[in-house]
Amino acid sequence: MDRKVVVIPTYNEKENIDKIIRAVRSLGDDFHILVIDDGSPDGTASVVRSLQEEFPGALHLIERSGKLGLGTAYIAGFKWAIEKGYDYIFEMDADFSHNPADLPRLWRACSEGGADVAIGSRYCNGISVINWPIGRVIMSYYASVYVRKVLGMKVFDTTAGFKCYRRKVLETIDLDKVKMKGYGFQIEMKYSTYKLGFKIKEVPIIFMDRTEGTSKMSSGIFGEAFWGVLGLKFRKIRPVK
């Protein structure tokens, strides 16, 4: 049986974390979870610790001492998952903007559909976003258009954070050289995957904005992504040695 782990970064997700863990675990015992909490003052990590007794060996927690960035959280999770021998590693938000029921679809796109990375895509089949202000939808959509034009990467949802990786992809990317820490991280990882010759497949999903908790989006995150994309265009992407 394939070993799967869903990596979920958290910061102040106490309202959502119990429900998202139970939703993922309801998919089957082969879906393990790694929560990476950046010192949430609301007690998110304590909720996870209490649930570890209910899901022994299947629910894991890394606690970090403050907000160190989305990208660094995922990289810590990827390294942990590689070390533990997982075959498929997923990225997912804690706030239910990504539907846990779509995780098996992403996995099948890799395990049966031949993809090395499967992306839960908001834009590969029109625009499938619910509850976002129209300004944010437009900004997100045209950010992906900008990335496609600059980098020549044929991915419709370049900033998507709902993904399934085959382990070999994460073993090949030099994770220590990934530079962007915010949502630009998502672009950088897709571009590295693309430049290293791996097959990327987009799986259409419906993205629903969070109903509980607070969004972590900021203008600084978009600024890093905008300028970071220009830098990526001129960077040599080489496999890890």
What number is the average pLDDT over the span 116-136?
Answer: 85
24 touches 6 (CB < 8 A): yes
Question: Cβ-count burial of 58 within 10 angstroms (0-12 exposed, 13-18 middle, 19+ buried)?
Answer: middle
Give the pair of three-digit tokens for residue 200: 């990327």
Question: Cβ-count burial of 120 within 10 angstroms (0-12 exposed, 13-18 middle, 19+ buried)?
Answer: buried
* pLDDT at residue number 68: 86
Candidate from 7-11, 180-184, 199-203, 211-215 with smallest mean pLDDT: 211-215
* pLDDT at residue number 215: 52
* 136 pLDDT above the threshold of 90: no
23 touches 17 (CB < 8 A): no
Query: Which residue type occupies 36?
Result: I
Q: pLDDT, tens digit, for every residue of 68-87?
A: 889 999 999 999 999 999 99
* pLDDT at residue number 39: 93
What number is the average pLDDT over the span 173-180?
Answer: 92
* 221 pLDDT above the threshold of 90: no
* 212 pLDDT above the threshold of 60: no
DSSP β-ladder status, 163-166 and 200-204: unpaired
pTM of the shown model: 0.90
Give the pair of three-digit tokens for residue 116: 């090395």
Taking Cα atoms as reference points, which of 111, 57, 80 lies closest to residue 9? Answer: 80
Question: Cβ-count burial of 222 within 10 angstroms (0-12 exposed, 13-18 middle, 19+ buried)?
Answer: middle
What number is the average pLDDT over the span 152-168?
Answer: 94
CA dist 59 and 51 (Å) reads: 8
* pLDDT at residue number 223: 66
* pLDDT at residue number 66: 85
In the block, which residue shows the tokens 């209490």?
50
Q: Please, which residues have CB within 8 angstroms of residue 28's CB and are 6 or more apart in sequence?
A: none
* pLDDT at residue number 233: 83
What number is the average pLDDT over the span 117-134?
Answer: 86
* 214 pLDDT above the threshold of 60: no
* 179 pLDDT above the threshold of 60: yes
* pLDDT at residue number 224: 67
C-alpha 30, offset from chain centre: 19
Q: What percent of the chain has pLDDT over 90?
A: 67
Q: Please, which residues have CB within 8 angstroms of residue 92's CB and are 6 or more apart in sequence?
A: 6, 7, 8, 20, 24, 98, 100, 103, 161, 162
Give the pair of three-digit tokens for residue 214: 């607070």
Give the pair of three-digit tokens for residue 25: 């675990």
**C-alpha atoms less than 13 angstroms from C-alpha of 208 in its C-beta half-sphere:** 8
* 99 pLDDT above the threshold of 60: yes
CA dist 64 and 202 (Å) reads: 32
* 222 pLDDT above the threshold of 80: no
Taking Cα atoms as reference points, which of 181, 194, 206 lies closest to residue 233? Answer: 194
* 218 pLDDT above the threshold of 70: no
